[in-house]
Amino acid sequence: MRLTFLRHGKAVDRALWHERDADRPLTAEGQDQLRELTRLLRPVVRTGLICTSPWRRARETAEIFAAAWELPLKECAWLAGEAAPPAQWVEELNPAVDTMLVGHEPDLGIAAAWLCGFGPSAGISSLPLKKAGVAILDGLPRPGGMQLMALLPPKTVAAIAKA
Domain residue extents for the chain: 2-91+106-135+154-162
Beta bridge partners of 102: 6, 52
CATH of the domain spanning 2-91+106-135+154-162: 3.40.50.1240
Residue 120 has pLDDT above 90, yes or no: no
DSSP letters along 103-114, please? E-TTHHHHHHHH
Residue 136 main-chain phi, psi, to 5 deg: -115, 125
Distance separating alpha carbons of residues 50 and 32, to the nearest angstrom: 19
Which band of pLDDT confidence, cut at 50, 70 and 90, is reported for residue 40?
very high
**Residue 163: is its pLDDT beyond 70?**
no
Assess whether the previous peptide bond of 106 is cis (omega < 30° from 0): yes
pLDDT reported for residue 125: 87
Q: At 21, is the pLDDT very low, low, confident or very high (cuts 50, 70, 90)?
A: very high
What predicted TM-score, i.e. pTM, was given to this entire model? Answer: 0.94
